[in-house]
């Protein structure tokens, strides 16, 4: 399927420049997902970003300050859409008061195809 998400925000390029030179394939995907989710990965705290093992190709885990909820803007929805687009599983768990741990893992290839088919139906210019 020929489909491209209109990426607009700094992600893996910024991490390579300012945080870690070496990123695994999953590290690059995670950084781009987080960058789009936060409207620039530089909006996450430096403490959060430097504590990530960006070279791990099985799981990227990051603790981010704040919370997400269904009625607050579109942060939760965008996290789901971006996970589907990138073909990864994102789990969210409490890490500390007012902090979340996001765990980003690979998902099965058949699910990626299903996610991409669903995302192809979205008019991103209107989203």
pLDDT (0 to 100) of residue 123: 74
Gap between the Cα atoms of 95 and 93, Å rounded = 6
pTM here is 0.79
Q: What pLDDT score does 110 carry?
A: 60
C-alpha–C-alpha distance, residues 55 and 78, integer Å: 25
Q: What is the band of 127 on the pLDDT scale with cuts at 50, 70, 90?
A: low
Answer whether residue 61 shows pLDDT above 70: yes
* 122 or 33, which is more confident: 33
pLDDT digits (tens, 9 = 90+) for 14-41: 999 999 999 999 999 999 999 999 989 9
CA 49/CA 15 separation, integer angstroms: 8
Sign of CA dihedral 31, 36, 39, 40: positive
Separation CA 37–CA 26 (nearest Å): 16
User: d(Cα 78, Cα 65) in Å, to the nearest integer?
Assistant: 17
């Amino acid at each position: 399927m020929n489909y491209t998400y209109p990426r607009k925000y700094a992600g893996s390029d910024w991490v390579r420049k300012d945080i870690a030179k070496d990123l695994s394939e999953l590290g690059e995907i995670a950084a781009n997902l987080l960058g789009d989710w936060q409207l620039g990965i530089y909006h996450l705290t430096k403490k959060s970003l430097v504590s990530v093992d960006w070279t791990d190709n099985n799981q990227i885990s990051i603790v981010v300050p704040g919370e997400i909820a269904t009625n607050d803007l579109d942060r939760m929805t965008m996290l789901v859409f971006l996970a589907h687009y990138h073909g990864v599983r994102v789990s969210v768990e409490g890490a500390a008061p007012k902090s979340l741990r996001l765990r980003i893992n690979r998902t099965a290839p058949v699910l990626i195809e299903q996610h991409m088919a669903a995302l192809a139906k979205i008019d991103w210019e209107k989203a």
